[in-house]
Structure 1
Amino acid sequence: MLLDKNNLPLVSMEFMNEVHFEDIAIINELYELIIQYEENVNINNEEKVNTKYMQWYNHTVKHFEREEIQMIEKGFPPYHMHKAEHENALNLMNQIFKKWEETKDIKILKQYLTEDLPKWLINHIQTMDTVTAMFLKTGLSPCSAH
Structure 2
Amino acid sequence: MESNNVLECEDIPQVAMDAMNVVHRDELNIVNQVNVAIVANDSEKITTLCQEWLAHTKAHFERENGMMEKYNFPAYHCHHGEHIDALNGLELVISAWESSYNPDDLAVYVRDAWPKWYVNHISTMDIVTSAFIKQSMENE
Q: What TM-score does the superposition give when structure 2 sets the normalisation length?
A: 0.90
Partner of 2:77: 80
1:58 maps to which of 38, 55, 62: 55
Residue 10 (str. 1) matches residue 14 (str. 2): yes
Structure 1 residue ranges (4+ consecutive) displaced by more than 6 angstroms after TM superposition? none
Shift of 1:58: 0.2
Name stretches of at least 5 consecutive residues in structure 1 with no aligned partner. Answer: 38-44, 140-146
Partner of 1:123: 120
1:18 and 1:102 map into 2 onto residues whose CA distance is 32
Residue 19 (str. 1) matches residue 23 (str. 2): yes
Range with greater deviation from structure 2 (93-102 or 26-35): 93-102
Higher Cα radius of gyration: 1
2:112 counterpart letter in structure 1 = E
Alignment of 1:102-121 (within 5 A): 102-121=99-118
Identity of aligned residues (%): 38
Deviations 1:70-105 (A, max 9, x none): 111111111111111101001000111122223322
Name stretches of at least 5 consecutive residues in structure 2 with no aligned partner. Answer: none
Partner of 1:28: 32
2:75 counterpart letter in structure 1 = P
2:32 and 2:50 map into 1 onto residues whose CA distance is 11
Shift of 1:69: 1.0
> Is the contact between residue 6 and residue 115 of structure 2 (CA under 8 Å) also seen in structure 1?
no
Alignment RMSD, CA only? Answer: 1.0
